[in-house]
């Protein structure tokens, strides 16, 4: 019985199933192309620092301005699938990055017909460093130290002076060797061309991120809302009206008309920003018995109110640029010139963040003075004296035993940005906006024999003579030509002695071995 | 027979559709900000186009010189609690005064920074008075003692040399990140900051060894910059007259000072901007009272 009934239904069900599959196959999976994330935590930081100064003035950038900044960035730097660089006057882009490299590193993971890889950044880097280079990819929160956020344009392990950009060689060294003691692995097995592409893409993300920060800082500092001056004018004109009325002008027709006009102005202001209400309580004024030349004063007030009426009508909220409403996607030549003029400050900022990449130069490392070798016990002893001495002052942070326990409440520049003294709620706000929870930066434990920036003497030389950007490690004071004898600075020979001592530290016995173990245990945990 | 066929069909279908469930579709995420494709294409074509002609607006030259001076006071006394010292108490003391608000007699406010923010068309006459020629390339000293920077807010010309001293008997390291400077300064030592440059806002200055130490250094290309003294007073002489100028007024606690009561009238300075046009030989006197509530 049941079998008989199945006969007609089976094809129908089969047809239905095929239909479902067909619909699924035809509609497919559509996902939006990836976008750069906005640096919302930094935006919040500069808003807190630079806005809302006066009662009633806005405490955050408007959506329109935020969107303007996104538009400017996309116009100058493109998208994760289609990166580009702005043409900036007087700057040779080839000196910074190769645009073909950018294309190879960007976009989805793929390879072309000849097997050349594409989408390298998303293949190798994005899970830690994030699509925007914010050091906040999906794995970031589980890593210690956090992956580098490129958007500050700061790099720790490099051969250039503090405050300068790293050279391509510096970045290549890190990609090829990885960073000992961190989750950054070595990519030495990648073909050379792919490493070059990634280096260029890191520079690109760095420049884009730095410009984004500058744009947010600019918007919060420089854009002023005309409302902020219109409202006090309204208040002072109301006061002037009260003063002139009290001084005997009550019957003047012009003065009689003023309250109605002021009311209209107030209502217009209220429509612009409802927080105007906050100001509404009129401040008391002194009521003079008489005013000299009353008719002239009334005329003045009348003119001032007329001017304010006009200004309030002409009110425009602050924007990063103004576009003519009529024109379409392709502006006329005249509009282009006008737009370019408006964009000039942003192009200058772009130049500011791009130019340093063209001028970065390694500090040349002189040969160590003759006779100095890493196992020279005399040199090590002299280095030890310097390590404890007042000039290099290493122990003040690295601790009396070099365990990195001299000072452990530092933050690096990346975490430090989200810490405001005595305001833990500020940190909560930044973390909610997407910042990684700040972590303390510990001075390196020099007894572990792990050197993040490399263990070669030349690496230590660069760390000492430059300090470490973004961290708290300062440069050692170096003797310059012409310094009188006895100047409290280090000579080149001193520096090599110090390097020899630091390199011998992991093998030096320590007077309190228990403490070492305790410290090491802590670090492992 | 049909039942078996049907079952295998169903199983096959489920198997076929399984990958769809396993792989799923990427979720549509609502964007954290919006962009406008039309705007972007218009901006792009503007940027990609020929370089804009520099706007050739006629700049009027100054007609003479004037003086800006004044005094800053708080509307009520403000005292911040001192900072607990965590290192070298034998030299730095057990507590360190909180320099964020330093007041003098009559609630006068020290360390208010006043500087000319207008970009001057030239750094010569008639924009800069010849009396500043001698100090243009001078070396200025920035000292620290008892784990305190002696000038909590420090104004200088970017053309000057900055010499950081350490008059303490303990080593410091002075970090002025805006200038790319971070060097150990041994007790009694000194170091020249080689890379002072024009900056847009006061640069935080710190010492990593003594983390409570803090100061701000501002460098402008011109000499029209001043910091109020313990009486809250400042004076900037020989300011170009007859042209529109914009001064900015800054204090650590409120950053750019948004408003004040100046000579008994309320004044609004959006983002600390004070616009003035001075007459020849005029002396602009500001008696500014700032709202103490914002300085707590």
Residue B292 has pLDDT above 80, yes or no: yes
Q: Which residue of chain A is at minimal alpha-carbon distance from B211?
A: A410
Burial environment of residue A139 by CB neighbours within 10 A (0 to 12, 13 to 18, 19 or more): middle
- Here the tokens at position A115 are 């097997």
Q: pLDDT at position B21, please?
A: 62
Q: Which residue of chain B is at minimal alpha-carbon distance from A165?
A: B180
Q: Is A381 on the interface with B (CB under 8 A)?
A: no
| pLDDT over 90 percentage in chain B | 64
| Chain B residue numbers touching A13 (CB-CB < 8 A) | 6, 9
- Choose the closest CB to B255 out of A50, A86, A487: A50
Q: How many CB pairs under 8 A join A and B?
A: 208
Residue A189 has pLDDT above 90, yes or no: yes
Residue A292 sits at φ, ψ, to 5 deg, of: -70, 140
User: Under an 8 A CB cutoff, do A30 and B201 touch?
Assistant: no
In this structure, are residues B246 and B275 in contact, taking their beta carbons and an 8 Å threshold? yes
User: Each residue of A474-494: pLDDT tens digit?
Assistant: 999 999 888 888 888 999 999
Residue A172 has pLDDT above 90, yes or no: yes
| Chain A residue numbers touching B266 (CB-CB < 8 A) | 232, 235-236, 283
What part of A 197-236 touches B (C-beta under 8 Å)? 221-222, 224-225, 228-229, 232, 235-236
Residue A277 has pLDDT above 60, yes or no: no
Residue B115 has pLDDT above 80, yes or no: yes
In this structure, are residues A145 and A126 in contact, taking their beta carbons and an 8 Å threshold? no
Q: Directed axis angle between helix A492-504 and helix A457-466, to 10°?
A: 120
- Choose the closest CB to A6 out of B6, B51, B53: B6
The per-type count for chain A, helices as H runs and strands as E runs, is: 19, 4
Q: pLDDT at position A338, please?
A: 86
**Residue with the two structure tokens 């289609």:** A82
Residue A420 has pLDDT above 50, yes or no: yes
Q: Quick one: average pLDDT of B224-237? A: 96
The DSSP 8-state label assigned to residue B274 in this structure reads E
User: Under an 8 A CB cutoff, do A31 and B26 touch?
Assistant: yes
Give the 3-state DSSP-derived string for A126-173, with helices as H, strands as E and coil as C.
Answer: HHHHCCCCCCCCCCHHHCCCCCCCHHHCCCCCCCCCCCCCCCHHHHHH
Cα–Cα distance for residue pair A157/A469, rounded to 1 Å: 8
CA angle A162, A167, A172 (to 5 degrees): 125
Q: Is the pTM of this model over 0.90?
A: no
User: Under an 8 A CB cutoff, do B31 and A35 touch?
Assistant: yes
Residue A180 has pLDDT above 50, yes or no: yes
Q: Quick one: average pLDDT of B109-132? A: 92
DSSP string, A15-41: HHHHHHHHHHHHH----PPP-PPP-HH
Q: Quick one: average pLDDT of B180-189? A: 91
Q: pLDDT at position B102, please?
A: 95
Terminal CA-to-CA distance of chain A, rounded, Å? Answer: 71
User: Under an 8 A CB cutoff, do B183 and A86 touch?
Assistant: no
Distance in Å, alpha carbon of A9 to nearest chain B alpha carbon = 10
Q: Which residue of chain B is at minimal alpha-carbon distance from A393?
A: B171
Cα–Cα distance for residue pair A263/B295, rounded to 1 Å: 34
Distance in Å, alpha carbon of A189 to nearest chain B alpha carbon = 31
Q: So what's the ipTM on this one? A: 0.78
| pLDDT over 70 percentage in chain A | 88
| Local structure of B217: helix, strand or coil | strand
B214 contact partners, CB below 8 Å, separation of at least 6:
B99, B149, B152, B204, B205, B206
More confident residue, A513 or A477: A477
Beta-strand relationship, B139-142 and B161-165: parallel
User: Under an 8 A CB cutoff, do A337 and B53 touch?
Assistant: yes
Q: Is A329 on the interface with B (CB under 8 A)?
A: yes
pLDDT band, very low/low/confident/very high, at B231 (cuts 50, 70, 90):
very high
Q: pLDDT at position B52, please?
A: 38
pLDDT band, very low/low/confident/very high, at B23 (cuts 50, 70, 90):
low
B254, B271, B274, B295: best to mutate for the A interface, most A CBs within 10 A: B271
Residue A208 has pLDDT above 90, yes or no: yes
Q: Is A162 on the interface with B (CB under 8 A)?
A: yes
Residues facing A441 on adjacent strands: A410
Q: pLDDT at position B54, please?
A: 43
Q: Quick one: average pLDDT of A6-10? A: 56
In this structure, are residues A96 and A205 in contact, taking their beta carbons and an 8 Å threshold? no
Residue A423 has pLDDT above 70, yes or no: yes
Q: Quick one: average pLDDT of B58-84? A: 91
Residue B30 has pLDDT above 70, yes or no: no
User: Each residue of A23-75: pLDDT tens digit?
Assistant: 766 666 667 889 999 999 999 999 998 887 666 678 899 999 999 999 999 99
Q: pLDDT at position A119, please?
A: 94
pLDDT band, very low/low/confident/very high, at B45 (cuts 50, 70, 90):
confident
User: Under an 8 A CB cutoff, do B36 and A67 touch?
Assistant: yes
Q: pLDDT at position A336, please?
A: 84
Q: Quick one: average pLDDT of A278-293? A: 60
Cβ of B124: how many Cβ atoms within 10 Å? 10
Q: Quick one: average pLDDT of B27-51? A: 75
Q: Which residue of chain B is at minimal alpha-carbon distance from A337?
A: B52
User: Each residue of A434-451: pLDDT tens digit?
Assistant: 999 999 999 999 999 999
| Chain B residue numbers touching A393 (CB-CB < 8 A) | 171, 173, 184, 186, 209
pLDDT band, very low/low/confident/very high, at B192 (cuts 50, 70, 90):
very high
Q: Is A432 on the interface with B (CB under 8 A)?
A: no
Q: Is A186 on the interface with B (CB under 8 A)?
A: no
User: Under an 8 A CB cutoff, do B41 and A329 touch?
Assistant: yes
User: Under an 8 A CB cutoff, do B45 and A330 touch?
Assistant: yes
- Choose the closest CB to A10 out of B2, B52, B258: B2
> Do you know the residue count of chain A?
525
Residue A217 has pLDDT above 80, yes or no: yes
Q: Quick one: average pLDDT of A145-166? A: 95
Q: pLDDT at position A291, please?
A: 74
Q: Quick one: average pLDDT of A110-120? A: 87
Cβ of A175: how many Cβ atoms within 10 Å? 21
Terminal CA-to-CA distance of chain B, rounded, Å? Answer: 88
User: Under an 8 A CB cutoff, do A413 and B45 touch?
Assistant: no
Q: pLDDT at position B55, please?
A: 44
User: Each residue of A331-358: pLDDT tens digit?
Assistant: 788 888 888 889 999 999 999 999 999 9
A11, A63, A67, A75: best to mutate for the B interface, most B CBs within 10 A: A75
- Alpha helices for A360-447 (secondary structure H): 377-388, 395-398, 413-416, 424-432
Residue A382 has pLDDT above 60, yes or no: yes
Cα–Cα distance for residue pair A157/A464, rounded to 1 Å: 11
Residue A202 sits at φ, ψ, to 5 deg, of: -65, -45
| pLDDT over 90 percentage in chain A | 54
Q: Directed axis angle between helix A63-77 and helix B37-48, to 10°?
A: 50
């Amino acid at each position: 019985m049941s079998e008989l009934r199945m006969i007609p239904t089976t094809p129908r069900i089969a047809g239905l199933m095929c239909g479902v599959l067909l619909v699924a196959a035809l509609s497919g999976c559509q996902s939006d192309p990836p976008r750069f994330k906005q640096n919302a935590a930094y935006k919040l930081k500069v808003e807190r620092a630079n806005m809302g100064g006066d009662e009633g003035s806005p405490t955050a950038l408007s959506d329109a301005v935020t969107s303007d900044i996104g538009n400017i960035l996309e116009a100058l730097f493109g998208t994760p699938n289609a990166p580009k660089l702005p043409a900036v006057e007087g700057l040779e882009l080839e000196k910074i990055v190769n645009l073909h490299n950018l294309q190879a590193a960007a976009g989805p993971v793929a390879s072309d017909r000849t097997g050349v890889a594409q989408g390298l950044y998303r293949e190798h880097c994005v899970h830690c460093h994030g699509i925007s280079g914010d050091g906040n990819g999906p794995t970031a929160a589980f890593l210690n130290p956090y992956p580098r956020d490129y958007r500050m344009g700061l790099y720790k392990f490099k051969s250039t002076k503090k405050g300068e950009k790293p050279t391509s060689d510096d970045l290549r060294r890190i990609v090829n060797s990885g960073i000992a003691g961190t989750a950054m692995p070595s990519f030495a097995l990648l073909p050379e061309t792919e490493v070059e592409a990634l280096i260029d893409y890191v520079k690109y993300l760095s420049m884009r991120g730095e410009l984004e920060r500058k744009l947010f800082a600019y918007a919060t500092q420089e854009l002023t809302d005309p409302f902020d001056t219109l409202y006090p004018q309204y208040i002072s004109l109301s006061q002037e009206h009260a003063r002139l009325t009290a001084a005997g002008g009550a019957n003047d027709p012009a003065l009689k008309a003023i309250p109605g006009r002021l009311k209209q102005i107030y209502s217009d202001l209220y429509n612009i920003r409802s927080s105007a209400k906050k100001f509404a309580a009129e401040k008391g004024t002194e009521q003079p018995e008489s005013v000299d030349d009353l008719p002239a004063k009334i005329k003045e007030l009348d003119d001032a109110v007329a001017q304010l009426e006009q200004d309030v009508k002409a009110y425009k909220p602050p924007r990063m640029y103004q576009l003519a409403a009529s024109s379409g996607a392709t502006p006329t030549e005249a509009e282009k010139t006008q737009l370019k003029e408006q964009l000039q400050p942003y192009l200058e900022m772009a130049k500011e963040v791009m130019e340093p990449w063209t001028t970065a130069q390694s500090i040349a490392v002189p040969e160590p003075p003759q006779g100095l070798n890493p196992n020279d016990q005399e040199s090590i002893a002299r280095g030890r004296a310097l390590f404890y001495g007042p000039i290099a002052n290493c122990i003040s942070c690295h601790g009396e035993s070099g365990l990195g326990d001299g000072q452990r409440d530092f933050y690096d520049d990346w975490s430090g940005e989200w810490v405001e003294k005595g305001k833990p709620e500020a940190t909560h706000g930044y973390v909610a906006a997407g910042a990684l929870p700040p972590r303390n930066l510990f001075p390196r434990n020099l007894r572990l024999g792990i050197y993040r920036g490399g263990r070669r003497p030349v690496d230590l030389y660069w760390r000492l003579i430059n300090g470490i950007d973004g961290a708290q490690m300062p440069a050692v004071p170096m003797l310059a030509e012409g310094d009188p004898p006895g100047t409290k600075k280090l000579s080149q020979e001193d520096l090599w002695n110090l390097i020899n001592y630091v390199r011998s530290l992991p093998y030096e016995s320590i007077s309190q071995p228990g403490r070492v173990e305790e410290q090491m245990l802590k670090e492992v945990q | 027979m049909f039942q078996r066929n049907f079952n295998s069909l169903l199983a096959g279908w489920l198997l076929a559709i399984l990958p769809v469930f396993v792989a799923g579709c990427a979720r549509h995420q609502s964007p954290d900000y919006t962009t406008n494709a039309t705007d972007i294409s218009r901006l792009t074509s503007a940027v990609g186009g020929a370089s804009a002609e520099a706007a050739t607006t006629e700049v009027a030259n100054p007609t003479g010189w004037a003086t800006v001076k004044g005094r800053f006071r708080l509307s009520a006394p403000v005292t911040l609690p001192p900072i607990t010292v965590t290192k070298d108490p034998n030299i730095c003391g057990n507590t360190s005064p909180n320099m964020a608000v330093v007041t003098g007699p009559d609630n006068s406010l020290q360390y208010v920074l006043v500087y000319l923010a207008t970009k001057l068309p030239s750094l010569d006459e008639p924009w800069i008075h010849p009396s500043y020629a001698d100090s243009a390339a001078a070396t200025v000293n920035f000292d620290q003692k008892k784990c305190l920077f002696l000038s909590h807010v420090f104004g200088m010309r970017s053309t000057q040399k900055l010499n950081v001293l350490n008059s303490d008997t303990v080593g410091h390291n002075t970090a002025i990140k805006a200038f790319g400077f971070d060097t150990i300064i041994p007790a009694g030592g000194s170091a020249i900051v080689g890379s002072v440059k024009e900056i847009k806002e006061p640069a935080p200055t710190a010492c990593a060894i003594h983390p409570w130490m803090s100061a701000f250094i501002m460098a402008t290309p011109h000499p029209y910059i001043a910091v109020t003294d313990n009486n809250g007073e400042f004076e900037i002489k020989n300011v170009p007259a007859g042209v529109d100028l914009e001064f900015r007024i800054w204090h650590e606690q409120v950053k750019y000072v948004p408003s004040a009561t100046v000579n008994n009238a309320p004044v609004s300075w959006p983002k600390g901007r004070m616009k003035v046009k001075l007459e020849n030989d005029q002396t602009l006197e500001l008696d500014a009272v700032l709202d103490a509530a914002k300085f707590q």
